Copies of this chain bind each other. A is one copy, B any other.
Amino acid sequence: MHHQRTQAYTQRIQKVLEWMQAEKIDAVVFHDTEEHRTASMRYLCGHPMDALFIIKRDGRSVLIPWDVHMAEAHASADLIVPQSEFGRDPAAALQNMLADLGPGARIELPSATPHPFVSSLQNRLCQQEIICREQGIAEHLLTLRMIKDEEETALYEKACTETDAVLDALLNNWENFTSETDAALAIEGMGRTRGAEKTGFETIVAGPARSWGIHAFPSYGPGPLQVRGLTIIDFGLVFQGYTSDITATVARGPLSGRQRDMISLVTEAHERACALLKPGTMTRDIAAAVHRFFSDHGRTMPHSLGHGIGLDIHEYPFLRDKTEGNTQLRPGMVLTIEPGLYDPEEGGVRLENDYLITPEGHRRLTNSRILSIR
């Protein structure tokens, strides 16, 4: 375990302990499974997946992994106990590891915990209080993760530089990619060659026949690329768990007037949003400005303007014009801006770049763009 990394985990757990004290919580539990990933576990101890992770009020941490070899290679925890010791039954593992907290202890589970699991734990630990709420420990972790530290920022510089290099290699040789699959596999291959752990989500390459979908399904296929119209390319690269997220559009002419309009509206929306990216701005105001801009031109953007990125692809802050989740921008946030317009007849245009909020305003981390080919 790299020393600097271990120190980061210690600092993060310290912040959780402060929150626990303020909320009078005696233990918090994180549960990462194949059915529901919990990136906060990796954030707090480095273990990448498939485990229970507990922090107790005295600062001790317990990791209960499925693969104990993986834990030894990646995790920082005071105690590591394989799940097999509890018959692979997570409720039994928690009952066993939390009994020492005594009667009346308040144990909090993340808001995504399934209802029957909460009920079952309430029965098994009937002398303790099981808490599972919105705006609890999971959301507090998302708030902590929202402000990236120096190591995380350095990781983002790296992830975004590599992402740009992959996009450049793709767009500079665009004519060589005959199908969506060609282009998507080139992204996978170049990303891994450049050291990415994986791609951040299912890479989307949606050619002119399918780019009307916000998230095309399937995400890529045999469809041709070297035909008239709009192609959307949406991908991210993961370095040490942190993902980038960019979208480029390739517009092969001749285009219709409506397609040209969509391109210039999305380009201008992107610039308008960027102009507002600085500490103090409220996320809702940025999103509202872009939605209003589109609606002033008779258009509707059917998704939110952007989102924080990190160990998850969608993190705080969310750039939405709805009332929930209005957040003031602060230095250290890393987020995407991704205006897009979609039309069943004309196809789709989306432009997405990643930004770091700095004390002075922002730094653009990626250089995605709309490529026009005559």
Q: Which residues from chain A sit less than 8 Å from chain B, CB to CB?
A: 34-36, 48-50, 66-67, 69-70, 74, 84, 87-88, 109, 111-118, 120, 132-134, 181, 184-185, 188-189, 192-193, 195, 197-198, 202, 212-215, 217-222, 302, 314, 322, 342, 344
Contacts and interface: CB of A to CB of B under 8 A. Distances in A.
B218 A198 contact: yes
Contacts of A222: 192-193, 195
Contacts of A112: 35-36, 114
B192 A221 contact: yes
22 contacts: A35-B36, A35-B112, A50-B215, A67-B215, A69-B212, A69-B344, A70-B217, A84-B302, A111-B114, A113-B114, A113-B115, A115-B117, A115-B118, A116-B132, A181-B189, A185-B185, A185-B189, A188-B188, A192-B222, A197-B218, A198-B202, A198-B218
B202 A192 contact: no
A112 B113 CA distance: 8
A87 B322 contact: yes
A21 B134 CA distance: 33
Contacts of A36: 35-36, 112
Contacts of A314: 34
Nearest to A88: B322
Nearest to A109: B115
Contact of A67 (B34, B118, B181, B213): B213
Contacts of A220: 192
Given A218-B197, A314-B34, A116 B87 contact: no
Given A87-B322, A185-B188, 6 more contacts: A35-B112, A74-B217, A109-B115, A181-B189, A185-B189, A195-B222
Contacts of A192: 181, 184-185, 220-222
Contacts of A181: 189, 192-193
* Residue among A48, A115, A188 having the largest count of chain B Cβ atoms under 10 Å: A115
Nearest to A215: B67
A111 B118 CA distance: 11
A113 B118 CA distance: 11
A57 B344 CA distance: 35
A46 to B, nearest CB: 11
A361 to B, nearest CB: 30
Contacts of A49: 217
Contacts of A197: 218, 221
Contact of A70 (B116, B133, B189, B213): B213
A212 B69 CA distance: 8
B185 A217 contact: no
A219 B198 contact: yes
A300 to B, nearest CB: 9
A120 B36 CA distance: 21
A342 B67 CA distance: 11
A118 B133 CA distance: 11
Contacts of A342: 69
A314 to B, nearest CB: 7
A133 B217 CA distance: 32
A197 B344 CA distance: 22
Contacts of A74: 217
A188 B186 CA distance: 11
